[in-house]
Amino acid sequence: MSEAFESEAVVPHSTAEAEVCWDGLPPAPLTLEGAAVLHQVVRLRRDAWRAAGSVVRRRAAEQAAEWLARAEASGDGQSAVYALLGAKGDLLWVHYRPDFTALHRAQCELAGLPLFDYLEAVWSFLSVVELGLYESTVKLWRDLAARGVRPHSPEWQAEVERLKSRQRQAMLPRLFPRIPDSRWICFYPMNRRRGERKNFYRTPLPARRDMMREHGETGRRFADRVRQVISGSIGLDDWEWGVDLFADDPLAFKQLVYEMRFDEASADYADFGPFYLGMRCRPADLASWVEGFAPAARGEGG
C-alpha cells in the first residue's frame, strides 16, 4: 500500500514487457520521499492533572493551544491533534514537516510545553511520506533492458535520476501534503508478509505492480470520501508503512478497509498493526478536552 489513491498513469501490458527476463533486474520499485512524519499517542495523567490546580491547568492548556494554532496554520509543515476513541490512548498528535530536523524541533517544542508534564507517551511512529513508482519503474526497467543497459551502470543511474526528478516535480503537492481539514482520522501501521509461504518481496516486480494497481483502483472509488497519506518507515521504525486516512464520516474508513481486504495485496500479503480512530481537536477545543469535555460538536460533516 505504498501508493496513494491518485496513482501514476497506468501503462498497459505490452509484448515487450512479456519478453523481458526480470532475473537480474533490480527487484525494488523506485520511490519518492517527501515530508517527515511523526505520530505520537499520549495519555493524560488525570490524577496529576486534577491535582495541579485550576490556574496551572488553564495556563498549560492555553500555551498548548497557542502552539497548536501556530502549527496548524504553518506553511512549512503542520501539526494536528485528535481525541482518540477507545483505550489505546487519549490524544494522537500528528506532525508533518519538510525534513527530520524540523520534525525533531517540533517534538522538542511540544515536549517543552507545561501540558506535556501531564501527558504520558504511549506509542509513536516515525516515517516519511512515500510514493511508490511501480508503473514508471516497470516501464523504465523494460526499456533499459531492451537497450542492453547494465543495471546500476552510470547510464542506468542517469536514467533513474531523470525519471525521479520528473516525477518529483509532478508529484510535489503529494510529497509534501497539508493535513486534510477533515473531522476524523484513522491511522494504522502495516507490513508486507515475507514468510515461508507468502513473501511479497520475492514476488516479481510486474506482479507486485499489478497488485498495487488493483489496490489503487479500490482506493480511488473512495477518493471523494477519504483522503489518504502513505508514509514509509522501513529502516525508521518497527513497521514498514504508516497509513493516514482522513474523512468526515468515520464509517468510510470501515467500508474502505473492508473492501481493500479482498485485494490480493491485502488478502495475501498484508499484516496490520493497531488501528487508531480520532476526532480532530482544534486549538479552541483543547482546553475543554483536557478538562474532560468533548471537542465542540460540528457535525459529522466537519
pLDDT greater than 50 at residue 301: no
Identity of residue 128: V
| pLDDT tens-digit series, residues 174-189 | 999 999 999 999 999 9
pLDDT level of residue 13 (50, 70, 90 thresholds): very low
User: Helix crossing, 283-290 with 54-73: angle to 10°?
Assistant: 150
Report residue 89's pLDDT band, with 50, 70 and 90 as the boundaries: very high
Q: What percent of the chain has pLDDT over 70?
A: 90
- Confidence check: pLDDT of 294 > 90: no
Reduce the secondary structure of 42-108 to three states and give it as a string.
EEECHHHHHHCCHHHHHHHHHHHHHHHHHHHHCCCCEEEEEEECCCCCCEEEEEEECCHHHHHHHHH
Candidates 118, 188, 269, 276; catalytic one: 188
When computed from its CA atoms, the radius of gyration of the chain, rounded to whole angstroms, is: 22
Give, rounded to a whole angstrom, the gap between the first and last alpha carbons of the chain.
Answer: 27
Cell numbers at residue 293, please?
A: 469535555
pTM exceeds 0.75 for this model: yes
Q: Give the integer Cα–Cα distance in Å for 226 and 203.
A: 29
Q: According to the 3-state scheme, what is the secondary structure of the chain? A: CCCCCCCCCCCCCCHHHHHCCCCCCCCCCCEEEEEEEEEEEEEECHHHHHHCCHHHHHHHHHHHHHHHHHHHHCCCCEEEEEEECCCCCCEEEEEEECCHHHHHHHHHHHHCCHHHHHEEEEEEEEEEEEEECHHHHHHHHHHHHHCCCCCCCHHHHHHHHHHHHHHHHHCHHHHCCCCCCCCEEEEEEEEECECCCCEHHHCCHHHHHHHHHHHHHHHHCCCCCCEEEEEECCCCCCCCEEEEEEECCCHHHHHHHHHHCCCHHHHCCEEECCCEEEEECCHHHHHHHHCCCCCCCCCCCC
Give yes or no for residue 84 having a pLDDT over 90: yes
> How far apart are alpha carbons 292 and 294 in whole angstroms?
7
The total of other beta-carbon atoms located within 10 Å of residue 205's CB is 18
Mean pLDDT of 71-92: 96
**Which one-letter amino acid corresponds to residue 69?**
A
Average pLDDT, the chain: 91
Under a CB-based contact definition with an 8 Å cutoff, are residues 253 and 277 in contact? yes
List domains and CATH numbers for the chain: 15-290 (3.30.70.1030)
Instruction: Indicate if 188 belongs to the active site.
Output: yes
Task: Give the pLDDT band (50/70/90) at residue 113.
Answer: very high
Do residues 129 and 229 touch, judged by C-beta distance below 8 A? yes
Q: Which residue has the cell 468533548?
A: 294
C-alpha cell at 62: 492555553
Q: What pLDDT shows up at residue 23?
A: 73
Instruction: Give the pairing type, strands 119-132 and 276-280.
Output: unpaired
Cβ-contact 173, 70 below 8 angstroms: no
